[in-house]
Structure 1
Amino acid sequence: MRIIRAKDYDKLSKKAASIIASQVILNPESVLGLATGSTPIGTYRELVRMYNEGIISFKDIITFNLDEYYGLDKGDKQSYSYFMYDKLFNYIDISKNNINIPNGKTDDIQRECHGYENKIKKSGGIDLQLLGIGKNGHIGFNEPDLKFEALTHLVKLDKETIDSNSRFFSSIEEVPKMAISMGIKTIMHSKKIILLASGEEKGKVIYEMIYGKITPKLPASVLQLHPDVTVIVDKEAGYML
């Protein structure tokens, strides 16, 4: 596990974007796994800048998002589909046919999850997966549990996750209580992984993820077993390292 300590959030974002850009340049047909939340916004902004300057093209890139709120339409402003188009897809040359995000309005959750897994397999697997981390150690929406959920599945969100995500909604009652998420096995099959963490509130969980016991009670700890993980933290998130 490689650890990069960035001076601040801006430097963190630029470092992450440079690694993703290198992947895209070296393999213009790469399959990227993408994350949502506040942490990767700066990374996406930097990738858009690189695209506008002609440094990279996403013309033949395929993407798979980690998760989506269950029950939200893709046009809902709080959906992760809306987020991805608003922060990245609307501003680059990616083919809309190459964008894959779970359908939060599916009427057959089993078919949706199996279909998502099959799409990832048919694409050849994820070359580079971008991750954030929750204060409770979740990656994607894989919440602390007694066991690791392997494949894409429906998740009941923890109270801590709901409370944390309520900042994006008008009230906590509006926050979805369930989500569709890639599983741990799916994430771990990615050839490369970048995990981003920003802010002092992530410091303790980052330390436990890297140096603690591997346990489903802290899902991100499983990344200790992956052969190619880069953790990028800003000064605040890395204060315990």
Structure 2
Amino acid sequence: MVIEVLLAHHHPPTRAALAALLGAEPDLEVVGAYGDGARAHAMAERLLPDVLVTDLRLPGVSGVELTRRLAARPGIRTVVLADSALPELALEALGAGARGLLCQDTDTGELPRALRLVAGGGALVSPRLTRPLIDACLRSPGIPDVPLLDSLTERERQVLSLVGTGLSNQEIADRLVVAETTAKTHVRRAMVKLGVRSRTQLVAIAYRSGVLRPRVRA
């Protein structure tokens, strides 16, 4: 199966390099590459690609807003190229519905792998962005107070801990010996009860509440 990809990046040389990189992959087809958010949105609505790759500095319609608009489109998944120095903006993109979050300077092999994963229904955050995102979550006023954990069932607390360690729904299901759909339901219920919109915010709650503690290197 060929995965159709639409690119949106404000920097022309980078946009051209990404198009060349992805175009060299036999299972990826770049159907368009644009430098502003409004044009990218219009073409995404017209072409209905499998995956949109966007940066966050698009003129006009921002990368976050573009992600938000396309999140309502079934079948179009968004991978965002983010700057680790701007974790709050990356966090907004996750809240807007991004399915993948990679560093701007991601290596040439990571991006194609990420697109295949996201096109297949998966999600990922680059390990290099995890710590900045957690720190941004902890600073965010959108993170609820710890006492709200009292609303969680024991199983939902277990799931919160496992999400905090970076496990996917399938990995959580394997750990708890339940179906993936059951694990997904527990994650969704925990998010609803805690009033958050992303797994990254769940991670932040896990650390803030003491369910997880950051590892300290000697």
Q: TM-score scaled by structure 2?
A: 0.33
* Greater per-residue helix proportion: 2
**Structure having greater relative contact order (Cα 8 Å, sep ≥ 6):** 1
